[in-house]
Amino acid sequence: MNTSNAFSISFWLKKSGRKKDGRFPIYVRIRCKGKNADLSVHRSTFEERWCPILGKMDHRASESVVVNKYLDDVRAKLLECHRQLCAESNFITAQSIKLRYLGKDKVMLTLLDLLEYNRTYELPKLAKGTVKNYSSTETYLKRFIAKKYRVPDIGLASIDYAFLIEFENFLRNCEPIKSFQTLNNNGIMKHMLRFKKLVTMAYKFDCIPKNPFNLYKVKMEDYDSAFLEEEEILALGQLKFEEKGMELVRDIFLFACYTGLSYIEIKLLKPNGIVSGIDGELWIDVKRQKTKTEVKVPLLTKAKKILEKYADFPKNEDIVLPVYSNQKVNQYLKIIAQRANIDKHLTFHVARHTFATTITLMNDVPIETVSKLLGHTKLSTTQKYARVVEKKISKDMAQLKNILDESSHKIQDNSGVPNLRIVR
């Protein structure tokens, strides 16, 4: 008989744990694959009332019915733990069965456990803006399970492919958290991507037997983000302001247009981030807040002038430029766009797209160089920023036309030259 996978459950009295009243604690022994794991069942009895052959109390004892029923329940639960572990195809040991029985083999058991773990251990590693997005995803998840299941929490085992599809449909039809921020397809997909990270984390911890996201496909829609044309940048630079705060925001935005830095990178830019580059000129040398990738950007003349303009402006000694909050900056940018007659949804991130498209690509900077300047780790990411716009196509084709015309003229000029024949 093959006993390598033998599994048994037996109850016994722990003689070394005798209590003052003479009772002995009852223990259960889990035996699997030749190894044991012992566990107290939090019951006790006198030795003369215990039947070691049957592993239970003598039926003649007054409390035997209650205690033996309890021991049967413990046995049933341990058998169920063994069944679960077999179904999950885990490597089963006596210790793993014991931990499953105690509920200690999994870091989290429910959706709220998962959210709490993520909030405690994972979110502190992320930037504040990213943490805020996870908070929104949490809110939508809680609203979904409250509506679908009418309970505040569910077991992780309930999260399957059907759950994902129903949650996506919920996002497409529910009221947004903020009435002015409607959920479009890409916004919904970002919530699904954040949820995917959570579920994948639960899968890695063996809290669920399989990852339902292996069957789910995130479908992002392509879109063209706004960027400023050369004449629009010029219009911004020529604006006159009575409000110093408005002028400051315009200048910081233009600085981003000429450097490609994000809002937070400019806000945290320190004097030691301005260095002498390989060419002896001033460069910005920082690490991207999002990816921690090193970024080195030569300072263009207009960016230098903005730094010089605010060199003596009252600000924290550790920063180069005084920057308002992101919310205030974006509020001011809407007003600035109106005054400059720019019919585009102007946010601070538009400056980064402007740098990639109008400042660099349109001026024949290779996309590989643009990718380095933006601090991207993948060229495909840069391609979303630096679109080949119609003006660039027109410019490139005009250059090609000139090359072809010159070649044609050379051929015509040489038409009077007699053909030479090679004589062997």
pLDDT score, position 2? 43
In this structure, the number of other CB atoms found within 10 A of the CB of residue 235 comes to: 16
Q: What percentage of the chain has pLDDT greater than the value 90? A: 60
pLDDT score, position 398? 82
Strand order in 35-45's β-sheet? 7-13, 24-32, 35-45
> Residue 3: which pLDDT band, with cuts at 50, 70 and 90?
very low
Task: Work out the burial of residue 100: count CB atoms within 10 Å of its CB; fewer than 13 is exposed, 13-18 middle, 19 or more buried.
Answer: buried
Task: Give one word for 239, left, alpha or beta, with left for phi > 0 and alpha for psi -120 to 50.
Answer: beta
Residue range 333-342: mean pLDDT, rounded = 95
Residue range 333-356: mean pLDDT, rounded = 93
Q: How far apart are the first and last CA of the chain?
A: 94
Say yes or no to pLDDT of 299 above 50.
Answer: yes
Contact 131, 137 (CB under 8 A): no
The DSSP bridge pattern shows strands 282-287 and 274-276 to be antiparallel
Q: What is the pLDDT of residues 155-193, one digit of tens each?
A: 998 999 999 999 999 999 999 998 777 899 999 999 999
Residue range 35-46: mean pLDDT, rounded = 94
Say yes or no to pLDDT of 415 above 70.
Answer: no
pLDDT score, position 1? 38
Give this prediction's pTM.
Answer: 0.60
pLDDT score, position 288? 79
Residue range 44-61: mean pLDDT, rounded = 93
Say yes or no to pLDDT of 70 above 70.
Answer: yes
> Residue 407: which pLDDT band, with cuts at 50, 70 and 90?
confident
pLDDT score, position 285? 92
Q: Cα separation of 185 and 64, whole Å?
A: 63
Say yes or no to pLDDT of 338 above 90.
Answer: yes
> Residue 233: which pLDDT band, with cuts at 50, 70 and 90?
very high
pLDDT score, position 389? 62
Q: Cα separation of 351 and 357, whole Å?
A: 10
Residue range 213-218: mean pLDDT, rounded = 94
Sign of CA dihedral 245, 248, 254, 257: negative
Q: What is the pLDDT of residues 363-379, one digit of tens each?
A: 888 888 888 888 887 87
Sign of CA dihedral 181, 186, 187, 188: positive
Amino acid at 330: N
Q: What is the pLDDT of residues 86-110, one digit of tens each?
A: 876 566 889 889 988 887 776 688 9
* Closest alpha carbon to 202 in 80, 116, 95: 116
Contact 417, 384 (CB under 8 A): no
More confident residue, 307 or 287: 307
Residue with tokens 């209590």: 19
In this structure, the number of other CB atoms found within 10 A of the CB of residue 44 comes to: 19
Say yes or no to pLDDT of 210 above 70.
Answer: yes
Residue range 319-344: mean pLDDT, rounded = 93
Q: Between 161-173 and 128-148, two packed helices, what is the crossing angle to 10 degrees?
A: 100
In whole numbers, what is the pLDDT of the chain averaged over residues? 88
